[in-house]
């Protein structure tokens, strides 16, 4: 493997097409597409300042490095990335990629990040300002995840999340085959129009959660007091360990909760038969 150490590069495509290289303590100054169309690249203690540094790259590992805000749209159309112990200040990272492993990564500006990506593993990631995160991505595995940003995970499929804190309005809209374990989910309109969404031991807050869902399952979850008007037009099987402020027009299934403050069934209900609702008072 060719080693490039203690160097600085700028301009357009300074390392275009390189293969089997290791960058140590290298700075990529403003310019475009520094490592475009490369393969088998390792970067350690590097600084990326120019935009589009890793496009159409197959096989790259990035450790203890920094992407400044100028390195926007840094990783697109690429495969087989490992990134660890790295600070990503650049926006709009990770597009149309296959094979992403993130560990100990901090992303303070995560808007429009991780779009149309597949086979993602992430552990101990902190991401903020993350509006429209994970749009149309699939085969995602997450553990120890902190997120702030709305409209996340829209139209994703085959997702497993553990030990996460997700603050997101409109999270999990239109998703398929998503399971979330031992996590905190806060934000309005959680999980609308989802299919096969399963929440296990989760703490949920925000108005009108889990409406228009199909094959929705909750196991030993907790609702905050602001979780009102829940489950409208949803097919649901739920075990809730807390009071529920209000339930509106559930379509089918069974809901077990500590108590239900209000059950609303109006002319807009699509239920053919009454949904079974069990509380501590009815047992």
What the block records as the tokens of 55 is 């496009």
Instruction: Answer yes or no: CATH 2.160.20.80 is held by domain 1-90.
Output: yes
Supply the mean pLDDT for the chain. Answer: 96
11-70 confidence digits (pLDDT tens): 999 999 999 999 999 999 999 999 999 999 999 999 999 999 999 999 999 999 999 999
Give the pLDDT mean for 247-265. Answer: 95
Q: Where are the domains of the chain?
A: 1-90, 169-283
pLDDT at 194 over 70: yes
The residues, any chain, with a CB within 8 Å of residue 274's CB and separated by 6 or more, are: none
Phi, psi (5° rounding) for residue 80?
60, 70
Give the pLDDT mean for 72-77. Answer: 95
Distance of CA 82 to the CA centre of its chain: 17
97-154 confidence digits (pLDDT tens): 999 999 999 999 999 999 999 999 999 999 999 999 999 999 999 999 999 999 999 9
Q: What is the pLDDT of residue 182?
A: 98
CB-CB contact of 232 with 214 (8 Å): no
CB-CB contact of 220 with 239 (8 Å): yes
CA distance 135 to 257: 33
Q: What is the pLDDT of residue 269?
A: 83
Q: What is the pLDDT of residue 255?
A: 96
Q: What is the pLDDT of residue 219?
A: 98
Give the pLDDT mean for 74-91. Answer: 97
Distance of CA 206 to the CA centre of its chain: 18
Percent of the chain scoring above 70 in pLDDT: 99
pLDDT at 230 over 60: yes
Percent of the chain scoring above 90 in pLDDT: 94
């Amino acid at each position: 493997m060719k080693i490039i150490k203690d160097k600085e590069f700028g301009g357009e495509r300074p390392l275009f097409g390189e293969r089997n290289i290791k960058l140590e303590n290298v700075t990529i100054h403003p310019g475009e597409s520094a490592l475009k169309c490369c393969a088998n690249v390792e970067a350690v203690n590097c600084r990326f300042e120019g935009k589009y540094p890793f496009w159409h790259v197959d096989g790259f590992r990035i450790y203890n490095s920094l992407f400044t805000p100028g390195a926007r749209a840094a990783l697109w159309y690429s495969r087989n990335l490992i990134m660890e112990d790295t600070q990503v200040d650049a926006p709009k990272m990770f597009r149309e990629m296959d094979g992403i492993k993130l560990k100990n990564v901090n992303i303070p500006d995560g808007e429009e990040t991780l779009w149309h990506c597949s086979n993602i593993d992430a552990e101990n990631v902190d991401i903020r300002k993350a509006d429209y995160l994970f749009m149309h991505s699939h085969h995602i595995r997450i553990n120890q995840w902190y997120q702030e940003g709305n409209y996340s995970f829209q139209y994703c499929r085959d997702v497993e999340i553990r030990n996460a804190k997700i603050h997101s309005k409109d999270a999990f809209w239109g998703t398929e085959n998503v399971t979330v374990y031992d996590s905190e989910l806060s934000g309005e309109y959680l999980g609308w129009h989802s299919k096969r969404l399963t929440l296990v031991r989760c703490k949920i807050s925000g108005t009108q959660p889990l409406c228009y869902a199909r094959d929705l399952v909750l196991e030993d979850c907790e609702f905050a007091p602001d979780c009102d008007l829940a489950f409208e037009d949803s097919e649901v099987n739920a075990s809730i360990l807390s009071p529920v402020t209000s339930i509106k027009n559930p379509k089918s299934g069974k809901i077990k909760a500590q108590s239900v403050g209000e059950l609303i069934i109006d002319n807009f209900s699509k239920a053919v038969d009454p949904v079974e609702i069990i509380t501590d008072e009815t047992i």
